[in-house]
Structures are given as C-alpha cells and as structure tokens.
Amino acid sequence: MEGFDKSPLSVKGLSIGYGKKIVVESIDFDLDPGTLCGIVGINGIGKSTLLRTLAGFQPKLGGQIGLKGKSLEAHTPSELSRQLSVVLTDPPASKNLGVLELITLGRQPYTNWLGHLTQEDRQAVQQSLEAFLLEDLLHQKCHQLSDGQLQRVLIARAMAQDTPLILLDEPTTHLDLFHRVQILKLLQGLAHRQQRTIVFTTHEIDLAIQLCDRILILDGRENPFGTPSDLIEQKHFERLFPSEMVRFDAGTGTFKVNG
C-alpha cells in the first residue's frame, strides 16, 4: 500500500464510527517501535471506538490504518494475530481459567492445530509471568484474583502473544493509584525494553503526561498528537475540558478544580 512507512502503527485521515454515523474524523498519527502512547479525551468522544477500529473489531469509515507497511484490512485473521494483541475492558468469559492457562492462550497464533507448546512457547509464557510479577499466582483461578492482579494477567497474555503492537482499552480503570502507576510503569518498561509499540486509552491524563512517549488527544476537531511536553506547550490540554470547571496547570502537568 502506498504512503505507508514500516512503523508498527500508522494512521492517516482516519474516520471512525458506527454505520454511517461518524464519531471522530481526521485522526493522524504514526508510532515508532518502543513507543508508549496514551489516547485521552472526554467520556464518549470515541476512545474505545478508535481502539476497536485499530484492532479490526469494527470497520473504519474512512482513511488508512497501516501495520508495518501493510493495510490492516489486508491482513488475514491469523496474520493479524501476530501483528497486534489486545487487552479489553471485558473480563475473560470463563472465570475458571487458571492464570497459567490464560497467559498460555496468548501463544495460540504460533501453536499447531492441537495447541501443542514448543520450548519457545513455554519461554515466552515464562518471560511474561516474570515481567508482570505473576509467578506466585500461577495456579490461581481468575475469580480468585483482585482487579489489579487480573489486569496484570491480561496484559501478560498480550505480551506472550509476542506482537509488535499491543492495544489496551482503559487498563487502569477500577484500580487504586498504586496499581494504576504499577500497570503503567510495567507497560512503559515493556515498550522500552522489548521495543513494543503500546497504545492505551485512559482517563489518567496526569499519569499519561508523566509516563507516555506520545499522547493522542481526541477532541473531535484537530485530534492533536505529539510528545506530552509539546502538547503542553501548544496548550492543547487547556482546551480538553470546559475551563469554568477545571484548568490545566502547565507548570505541574496536572489539572486543578476551579472555584
């Protein structure tokens, strides 16, 4: 496909929505390997819709999505499963799945028709377990885990899938501050150490500013994209919320309640 570079995710003039109804249009960004990118924006602006479109769960309404120089739609399901993995807001359907079983499912794109695990598969699972501090929880069932633990397990599964791109929908909701920071730090480590490109939607703008390499602000107009400091300099965060309620303090990179 023309005009695509080899980056793990490159988006040009993308319109997203349902059926004929466009929710957000003209989304443009380009991510290098090893980048942690947060997508922020007010409730209902279309963050999850964007993520679902990028994952191929719903059709785009216009523009281009490229994965390593090839358009998203041109991938077969099995090719796609080696290019991108997802962490969704819905919990696993079976609460009886064990931690190890769940993470091992991430290896499905690489196993034979029976799901036989090779040495390489076991190694990938072991690395994910270690990276997300799950070795003690190995034989727990999903329904026995706390929200933070379950989230780590789901991300470890995506890591085991060994894809250049990982998409996460609100990985930090329902978590306390400690666990929010923990999850985002782990994601940052994964992106930087293993050169994965990680995109997640979040409401934690303060944390995103501190930890992300790139931020995409969905505002339904320009959808600015850049490094956190550039976006702060260009005063994009100021326009995110109605100014009579909250104001952005560029000095600290945080939001303050007005009045």
Partner 1 sequence: MSSKKPYGPSFILLGLALFLSWLLNISSGSVDIPFEQVLSILWQGGTEQTWDYIIWEYRVPKALTAILVGSGLALSGLLMQTLFRNPLAGPFVLGISAGASLGAALLLMGTSLVGSLAAFSLLGNISLALAASLGSFLVLLVVMSMASRVKDSMALLIIGLMFGSISAALVSVLAYFSSAENLQRFVFWSMGSVGNLSGSQLLLMAILVILGILLGVASIKPLNALLLGERYAQSLGISLVKSRIVIIIATGLLAGGVTAFAGPIAFVGLAVPHLTRQIFDTMEHRVLIPAVLLYGAVLMLLCDAVAQWPGSPSVLPINAITSLVGAPVVIWLLVRKRKIIF
Phi, psi of 69 (to 5 degrees): 85, 0
The piece of 105-113, 145-153, 225-233, 248-256 that touches partner 1 (CB under 8 A) is 105-113
Q: Which stretch binds partner 1 (CB under 8 A): 5-13, 113-121, 200-208, 219-227?
A: 113-121
Asked whether position 38 contacts partner 1 by CB under 8 A, the answer is no
C-alpha 8/C-alpha 183 separation (Å) is 22
Specify the stretch interacting with partner 1 by CB under 8 A; choose among 27-35, 82-90, 236-244, 250-258.
82-90
CB of 210 to partner 1, least distance (A): 29
Among 34, 98, 226, 253, binds partner 1 (CB under 8 A): 98
Binding string, residues 215-234; x marks residues near partner 1 by CB under 8 A: --------------------
Q: Which CB sits closer to partner 1, 99 or 232?
A: 99
Binding residue for partner 1, selected from 109, 148, 226, 253, defined by CB under 8 A? 109
What is the C-alpha separation between 259 and 252, in angstroms, rounded? 19
* Minimum distance of partner 1 from residue 116's CB (angstroms): 9
Rounded Cα gap, residues 39 and 48, in angstroms: 9
Position 35 contacts partner 1 (CB under 8 A): no
Nearer of residues 168 and 216 to partner 1, judged by Cβ: 168
96 binds partner 1 (CB under 8 A): yes
Cα dihedral 130→132→136→138 (10° resolution): -90
The least CB distance from residue 257 to partner 1, in Å, is: 37
| Minimum CB distance to partner 1 smaller for 110 or for 255 | 110
Does 81 interact with partner 1 (rule: CB under 8 A)?
yes
Binding site for partner 1 (CB under 8 A): 55, 57, 77-78, 80-82, 84-86, 88, 90, 92-98, 100-102, 104-106, 108-109, 111, 113-115, 117, 121-122, 125, 139, 141, 143, 161
